[in-house]
Amino acid sequence: MNVIYPGSFDPVTNGHLDIIQRCSKKFNKVIVAVLNNNSKSGFFTIEERLEFLRENTKDIENVEVDSFSGLLIDYAKMKNVNIIIKGLRAVSDYENEMQMALANNKLYPELETLFMVSNTRYSFLSSSLVRELSLFGGDVSCLVPKAVEIALKNKFKGA
Ligand code: ADP
C-alpha cells in the first residue's frame, strides 16, 4: 500500500520526520507532498521546503518527496493513491482534520484518511511554533533538523 502524507512543512520539524519514519515501516511507499498554495505565501519557498525534506529522508528508500497544488483528492487520484496520512497532536487538531477527512471522503469516496498519533515528545511541536521561537532567538536545535535550524537563523539574521 502507498500513502500520501500532505502538509505545508514550512519548515519540516522532528515531529513530521517521526511520522514519516514510522509510516515508512508500515507502508510500501510514502509520498510526502508539500502543498503549494499560491494564495498563501509561506515562510520558506516550496523549493527550500522540498530540499529540507529530501535531505532528511534520503536514507529512507521508500519515501518520495513531491509538491502539489490544487485539491489533495486530485493529486491522490493522479498518483493512484487512496490513503492519506495525517498526524494528530492534540484534541485541537481533531476538529479541523475531521472536517477535512470527511470532505475529502465525500468528494472521493475511495479515499481514506488515517491518523497517526504524534510521538509524545513532539505533541506540542508545530512549524509555526518553531518559526516563532526562532524569531526571538530561541534554541530550536532539538525540534528541527540541523539544516533547518541554520536556515532559520540566517533568515532572521537578515530580517
Ligand atoms: P504544522 O504547520 O501544524 O506543523 P503541517 O501542515 O506542516 O503542520 O502538517 C502536516 C501534517 O503533519 C499534519 O497532518 C499535521 O497534523 C502533522 N504534524 C505536524 N506537526 C506534527 C508533530 N509534531 N507530530 C505529529 N504530526 C505532526
Reading the chain (159 residues) residue by residue, the pLDDT tens digits are: 999 999 999 999 999 999 999 999 999 999 999 999 876 679 999 999 999 999 999 999 999 999 999 999 999 999 999 999 999 998 888 999 999 999 999 999 999 999 999 999 999 999 999 999 999 999 999 999 999 999 999 988 765
Centre of ligand 1 from the C-alpha of residue 16, in Å = 6
Q: Is the pTM of this model over 0.85?
A: yes
Question: Residues near 154 by Cβ (< 8 Å), separated by ≥ 6?
Answer: none
The verdict on whether 89 is a catalytic residue reads: yes
Locate the DSSP E strands across 12-152.
29-35, 63-68, 83-88, 112-117
What's the full length of the chain, in residues? 159
Taking alpha carbons only, the member of 3, 88, 19 closest to residue 56 is: 19
Tell me which CATH code domain 2-123 carries. 3.40.50.620
Helix (H, G, I), strand (E, B) or coil at 72: helix
**pLDDT at res. 39:** 66
The verdict on whether 141 is a catalytic residue reads: no
Rounded distance between C-alpha atoms, residue 67 and residue 15, angstroms: 19
Pocket test for ligand 1, best of 19, 32, 97, 104 (most atoms within 8 A of CB): 19
Rounded distance between C-alpha atoms, residue 144 and residue 86, angstroms: 19
Q: What is the dihedral of CA 92, 96, 99, 105, to 10 degrees?
A: -110
Within 6 A (CB) of ligand 1 lie: 7-9, 13, 15-16, 19, 86-87, 89, 93, 118, 122, 125-128
